[in-house]
A = this chain, B = another copy of it.
Amino acid sequence: MNSLDRQQIIKDLVVKTDSKIVLLVMDGLGDLPKDGKTPLQAAYKPNMDALAKESDLGQSVPVLQGVTPGSGPGHLSLFGYDSLKYDIGRGILEALGLGIRVDKKDVVARGNFATIKDGIIVDRRAGRPSSEESKKIVEILSQNIKKIEDVDITFYPGKEHRFVVKFTGESLFDEVTDADPQREGQPMEWAKATNPDSEKMANIVNKLIKEIGEVLKDQPKMNFALLRGFSKHPLLPSFEENYKLKAAAIATYPMYKGLAKLVGMDVLEAGQTTEDEVKTLKKVWNEYDFFYFHVKKTDSYGEDGNFEEKVKVIENTDKAVKEILSLNPDVLIITGDHSTPALLKAHSWHPVPVLIHSKYVRKGLSVSFDEYECAKGTLGTISALDIMPLALANALKLEKYGA
């Protein structure tokens, strides 16, 4: 089945009701065993385990079996948007990660500082400068380049050799090839429009790069820039359109706020800690019927390979679960956007634990919330795209399909 058809079917069936759904996403939740236990198994989490007995458990595949998703595809799947169909540019994801506001008139691109010598790109990462060094160069560019023709240019510093450029103006489209030879020892590959509408954009991009080269020509290493992943704000149908849900996002990191915004959620001020997020949730409980509640640190410690701290984040989140349950949501889902095993120190392809709690779950098969109980739970192995339909169903927001 075409996944746009799937979204259409759900859209046709959904009805507005008073019931409330909480989607608690513990980023990078899934893991691998260390000394026979995963962080979820090692954590003391009485609330989640008690809930597991009263819930449907399963494991979800974010994109495809074997495919390791970035946070973008992982979250879009959770929200019910097939990342294989909705082509979300790398530029927009990078911009969202940096908390950059992207509007309809903007095109964003990822930049690399690079080293050019006699017309040859000799280092695509300019010797991997520190983020501080690179930030200084971004400041120089910001002072010297504000416009190319009628297009406003804004630079944003990123990590190490990376930065983001935002182009703001009329008639800017993103069907432009990467201005990047991809390999070192090659001459520059300039941007080309792949659609006549994007010719203005390609022209602006190449002029900008030449001007960057001029401004930076005396820098020892960061004397050039490569730009790629040109992307406009993608026009995703909103949660309101798709699901008739008034949705709030409670997240502490820019990337996740940005992803929630892409699907039209109201992004709330949520402080820095899970406790702050719980406070926000309680404050706005009566104003929304869907709450995306994001816990970042499970992923961060997974990426650090810090098993013990990941356990502690789960234990801390368990306390939030008690608070969330005290609000009596009609549906509570606890899951992750992907796995981030401490052993791999990176995102991975492993299926993600999912728990769905409502009055209408089959339950009875699982005694705790972890990868193994989920692998053999009542839900089975599902696509992450199934999670929103299941949430809506459990909230009694979906009408019968067919007579």
B94 touches A403 (CB 8 A): yes
In the complex, the chain B residue whose C-beta lies closest to that of A373 is: B365
Q: Is A371 an interface residue (CB 8 A)?
A: yes
Q: Looking at chain A's contact residues, is the secondary structure mostly helix, strand, loop, or mixed?
A: loop
- Contacting residues, chain B, for A341 (C-beta < 8 A): 360
Q: Is A153 an interface residue (CB 8 A)?
A: no
- Contacting residues, chain B, for A2 (C-beta < 8 A): 1
* CB of A336, distance to nearest CB on chain B (Å): 14
A344-376 to B contact mask, C-beta < 8 Å, 1/0: 101111110000000111111100000110011
Number of chain copies forming the complex: 2
Q: Is A6 an interface residue (CB 8 A)?
A: yes
In the bound complex, what is the Cα–Cα distance between A6 and B378 (angstroms)? 27
Which among B5, B347, B380 is the interface contact of A380 at CB below 8 angstroms?
B380
Which among B379, B393, B400 is the interface contact of A70 at CB below 8 angstroms?
B400
**With contacts A6-B64, A9-B64 known, is A402 near B364, CB below 8 A?**
no
Which among B32, B69, B73 is the interface contact of A360 at CB below 8 angstroms?
B32
A398 touches B66 (CB 8 A): yes
* CB of A321, distance to nearest CB on chain B (Å): 23
Q: Is A68 an interface residue (CB 8 A)?
A: yes
- Contacting residues, chain B, for A348 (C-beta < 8 A): 360, 393
**With contacts A1-B84, A371-B362 known, is A70 near B402, CB below 8 A?**
yes
**With contacts A73-B402, A403-B90 known, is A66 near B372, CB below 8 A?**
no
Closest 5 CB pairs of A and B: A66-B389, A380-B381, A65-B386, A70-B402, A93-B403
Jot down 26 A-B pairs with beta carbons below 8 A, ordered by A.
A9-B64, A10-B66, A32-B361, A33-B362, A38-B362, A64-B389, A65-B382, A65-B383, A66-B386, A66-B388, A66-B393, A67-B401, A68-B399, A69-B400, A69-B402, A73-B402, A74-B402, A83-B402, A88-B402, A343-B360, A347-B400, A349-B393, A351-B378, A362-B372, A365-B375, A380-B380
